A and B are shown apart, each in its own frame.
Chain A
Amino acid sequence: MVFPSFKPRFPPRPIAHYALVLFFVMVTALAVLAAFVLHDTTRLKETIGQTEEKLALQELEEAISLLNARARNAATALMAWDEARQQLEDPMYYGYWRNSRALSAGVIPETLDAVDLYDLEGKNLTTAHSGEATMPLKINVKDPQPFLEHQDRHDHLYYFYPFYQSLDQVHLLGYMGLKFDLQEELARFRRFRYLDLKSLSIKASEGQHIPLDKLVSALQFKTVDNPETRALEKLISRSFYEIAAIIAAISFLAYLATVSVITKPLRSLSGHIDAMRRGKGELLGESYRGMLAVTELENVRHSLNDYQQQLDDMHVSLAHKNQELWTQAHHDPLTGTLNRRAFDDDWRAMHRTHPGVPLDVAFLLFDCDHFKAINDTYGHQVGDQVLQGLAESLQSALRSGDRLYRLGGDEFATILLSADMARARQVVERCMEHVLRHDFSVYWVREPVRIGVGISMLTGAQEDDLQLLHRQADIAMYYAKRPGQNKISVYTPEMGEGQESLVSNAETSAVYEAMADPDRLEMHYQPVLALPMLQIEYYEALVRIRGEHGLIMPSSIFPVVEFRGLECEFDLAVLERIRRDLEAGLVPAGIGVSLNVSGPGIVNARVTEKLMQFAPMLSKIKLVLEVTETSLITQIAQASTNLNRLRKAGFVIALDDFGSGYSSLRYLAGMPVDLVKFDISMVRSLEVPGRQAVFVEDLARLIKDAGYKLVAEGIESEALLNRVTALGFSHAQGFHIGRPAALPNPLALGQAAAG
């Protein structure tokens, strides 16, 4: 699905910003609304003020109109009053009547400031009064109009009416005058709602007469402070503020609701998606839970959770696959044990678990004795079964927490953390016991299957020390497998001296290259004299390997060969190289060659067959086959069979290094041997008088008497040569006689002579 592209004008903002903007827009709208309301309120106040002013004016007009009516009523009442009429007829006591009787009789309002009667000519009936009650002394009878006079801060209204004999207004008796204080009369008269009576004033000078019909226009006044208007204004104002507060509260609540219902869920969803993105496919542990209030967000949440669920399922599936791959990658398919990769990973994992912390470890390296021979003898299928049996035995001997690794071939290992030597030995012995108890005969293996164990201990091991541990265990293993050892060897620094070749890449590579290409071998031949004629009877072919930095000597070659179990292959290469030397005519005619064959080689069919390739030469030269005592003892039956076959073919069999090992005479008697080569240590003991020399002399005579010929190695002096000659040794070999050296190539010699 392709979503339509949307190009926002502004960079994206958090939704909270939009919510805030909305909130501020609402507040601004509220402020504008407030301004309108205030403006309308002001206009309303002005309108109300104008209306009230009109109403106040109306009130004033009505009040003055009613005051006029009141004056007319008073005039009517006065005209109907007998006593007033009495005064017009006989004004003898008018002063008393006006001052004491007129306003107190209850006929006309007492609130009148004054009342006066006038005769038909308009003359006041009296002229002897003054003060507040002052009335005009004479009025215009032709037009007795009422008027207002501003006098001494008071506004007085004067009304004048004709006074008739009776209400029929036929017989005119005179005139009457009434005087009101405008403000006081209005105040008494009625209660004003709009007119502020206290503010009532008149635009007139002192003593000025204002006709009644122009009175209203001449009056100035203010409206009363209308409590209802003020209450209405307060109500509007309060209502506005309440509404504003409510709207503000609603806006704020809406903002909170937006934040709660939309913003937070969106942020959480976004955070959840970001977490998924940061996790790069890793499981998040939990999905986005909690129902959301907004349908669309809820749908997004569902979709997201479904998507996450699918990712999780894919992740779990991948994890299972990875686990399977990891298992395949870290386990040996043959034995089911962990493999070399797992070994390396576990080592690194240990150090990652305890970063920077030195570990006390014991590295146990297990190796099957003569596994190559077993493999070669019984076939790979049996070899595999033997490896499985070994793995099973070792695994059962280890503790549940210990891990067994197959490092390669028949080599197994385990690492014990925080283990001392005693515990390491205990584990090793239990392993050896379990192997010993295992019945390998079910695989048709007749020989007992044994293992050698090399142990290296390291205190404070770092991550980089794995190779060191492995190398030390290798060296210890080499010692464990040496003849006469008890199959368990703990590495000591002394073992490392001279054994670097075991683990030297250069020597190992040279060995392997030589096995692949025998021409890389360089044979040195050391002469062996026939005694007592002192003639060279044959050369012992001693192997060297031409390396990048010179010759690699046997002391560096054979540890590698033996350690790697390459004896047979190496024997084959050496034999091939000697064969080529012989074919090349390097060995002088008539002189034989002594061939060294390893213990495994003597029981190996291929080596035997290779030796048999020398059989045609036996008619021309003497070929001596030197085997060690150890190799014969190990597999004496097979060895004897092969040696007998070779003897019959014409080989002379020599027992090499006699005296360096068990030197068991019982074994010697059962071996198909022609020559016995006394080890250099025994020969040299002849130079030192003592029990050992006697013992060697007696042993030499004994073996000689048994029918064996004797070869003395290590002859480095004439005296020693003479001594062994005297003892009846048939052959002698040593630096005194001749050092091992490469024989000159006759072809090269011929070319040189020709040149």
Chain B
Amino acid sequence: MIRHLPVLLTLLAGGCLWLTSMVSHAGVVEARLPSGKMAGAHYQAGKKDQPAVLILHGFLQTRAFPTVASMVEAASTAGYTTLAPTLTLGISRRNKSLPCEAIHTHTLDEDTAEVAFWVRWLEQKGYSRIVLVGHSYGNLQLLGYLGRNPAPAVKQVLMISLTDVERKQSAQQRALLAQDMRARLEKGNQGLVEAEIGHCNKYVSPPAALLSYLAISRGSILEALAKTSVPVEVIMGSKDDRMGSDWVDKLVSGKIAVRVIPGAPHFFDSQYEFDLHDAVLQALQDKSPRR
């Protein structure tokens, strides 16, 4: 036993160094955006041979949203480096979901810029393979980023519960609202508007900010998917109530790889959480996603 003591001490020292490295690469990271606002993200370093996974939360949510948080944990556990930013939505160090009734001065472009910021942050960290994972409305911000000449390190995009923006609000309604916003802007009216958008029945926003989100439509989504050079796979729940009955078909018809989890709702809660994790990890491991 005494003869093997130096070996044991050597192994114990090596383990401690490894744990120290892990701790130093895990936690909340903050960064000042070009706009001057402070943004935060949860960063978890993973195995060097694995791609870094940037997981973006849904509309007005934070990285602490359960679906996102559990997905981060699953990916981290699987050895992937994970980065889960919280979009500022115009508020420094925002750490709580923003109610629909709050004053939404943020725009889709600003959201997209923040995604780009965090992709660059990963690149600066040395990650050459980045997988973007979005949930719900976050997928639209990822699509916006993909349409902005995304970084070469972005190798894969997983879109979970890709939102059908016309599920509750028809394209015509959205067009009329957008027209109203444009008319306000033309009049120089920067007053706050209460509108129905996404899951919000009362969304308070200046006209310009609202108008940026009204630019998204089924067509723009499918078009963006079609144009992107990064492989995209969509994971949907068959019971997603924010999805039209033909939404998956439209995606499939747009040659988008769609993985449908039977019975799963929009947020993949309860037992479907593990199905989602399995699907995500499976997608991350799949080098050649299906079309």
Contacting pair A96 B101 (CB below 8 A) = no
* Cβ-based interface call for A184 (8 A): no
Does A97 have its Cβ within 8 Å of any Cβ on chain B? yes
Query: Which residues of A in the span 86-110 have a Cβ within 8 Å of any Cβ on B?
Result: 86, 89-90, 92-93, 96-97, 101, 104-105
Q: Nearest A residue to B94 by beta-carbon distance?
A: A82
In chain A, what residue has the closest Cβ to B190? A92
CB neighbours (8 Å) of B90 from chain A are 86, 90
Interface residues of A, dominant DSSP: helix
**Complex CA–CA separation, A93 to B103 (angstroms):** 8
Q: Does B91 contact A (CB under 8 A)?
A: yes
A residues within 8 A CB of B204?
96
Task: Collect the chain A residues with CB atoms within 8 Å of residue B94's CB.
Answer: 82
| Cβ contacts under 8 Å, B98 to chain A | 82-83
Contact B105 A90 (CB under 8 A): yes
B87-114 vs A: 1/0 string, CB under 8 Å? Answer: 0001111111011011101000000000
Tell me, rounded to whole Å, the shortest Cβ–Cβ distance linking A708 to chain B. 193
Interface size class of B (residues with CB under 8 A): 10 to 19
Is B182 among interface residues, defined by CB-CB distance under 8 A?
no
Q: Which residues of B contact A97 (CB under 8 A)?
A: 103
Interface centre among A82, A93, A104 (most CB of B within 10 A): A82
Q: Find residues 102-154 in chain B having any chain A CB closer than 8 Å to their own CB.
A: 102-103, 105
Q: Is A89 in contact with B105, judged by CB distance below 8 angstroms?
A: no
B279 in the interface (beta carbon within 8 A): no
Interface positions of A from 139 to 198, Cβ below 8 Å from B: 165-166
A81 to B96, CA, bound (A): 8
Assess A93 versus B192: contact at CB under 8 Å? Given A101-B103, A105-B101.
yes
Q: How far is the CA of A458 from the CA of B103 in the complex (A)?
A: 153
Looking at chain A, what size class is its interface with the partner chain? 10 to 19
Question: Which residue of A is nearest B38, CB measured?
Answer: A165
Chain B, Cβ-Cβ closest to A105: B99
User: Does A330 reach chain B (CB closer than 8 Å)?
Assistant: no
Q: Are the C-beta atoms of A83 and B103 separated by less than 8 Å? A: yes
- Does B37 lie at the interface of the complex (its beta carbon under 8 Å from any beta carbon of A)? yes
Q: CA A83 – CA B92 in complex, angstroms?
A: 10
Give, as a whole number of angstroms, the nearest-CB distance from A688 to chain B. Answer: 187
Tell which of A83, A89, A92, A165 touches B102, judged by Cβ atoms closer than 8 Å.
A83
Q: Indicate whether A272 reaches chain B with its CB closer than 8 angstroms.
A: no
Q: Please pick, from B91, B96, B101, B192, the residue contacting A89 in the complex, using a CB distance under 8 A.
A: B91
Q: What residues of B have a CB within 8 angstroms of the CB of A165 in the complex?
A: 38, 92-93
Q: Tell whether, in the assembled complex, residue A92 and residue B105 are in contact, meaning their CB atoms are under 8 Å apart.
A: yes
- A85 interface residue (CB < 8 Å to B): yes
Which of B95, B101, B190, B192 contacts A82 (CB under 8 A)?
B95
Question: B192 to A96, Cβ gap below 8 A?
Answer: yes
Q: Are B96 and A82 in contact (CB under 8 A)?
A: yes
Choose one: A81, A86, A166; the contact of B103 (CB below 8 Å): A86
On whether the beta carbons of A85 and B105 are closer than 8 Å, the reply is no
B218 to chain A, nearest CB (A): 31
Task: Considering the complex, give the chain B residue whose CB is closest to the CB of A89.
Answer: B92
Q: Which residues of B contact A81 (CB under 8 A)?
A: 96
For window 461-502 of chain A, which residues contact chain B by CB distance below 8 Å? none
User: Is A101 within 8 A of B105, CB to CB?
Assistant: no
Cross-chain pairs A/B with CB under 8 angstroms, 28 sampled = A81-B96, A82-B91, A82-B93, A82-B95, A82-B102, A83-B91, A83-B103, A85-B92, A85-B93, A86-B90, A86-B102, A86-B103, A86-B105, A89-B37, A89-B91, A89-B92, A90-B105, A92-B105, A93-B192, A93-B206, A96-B192, A101-B101, A104-B101, A105-B99, A105-B101, A105-B102, A165-B38, A166-B93
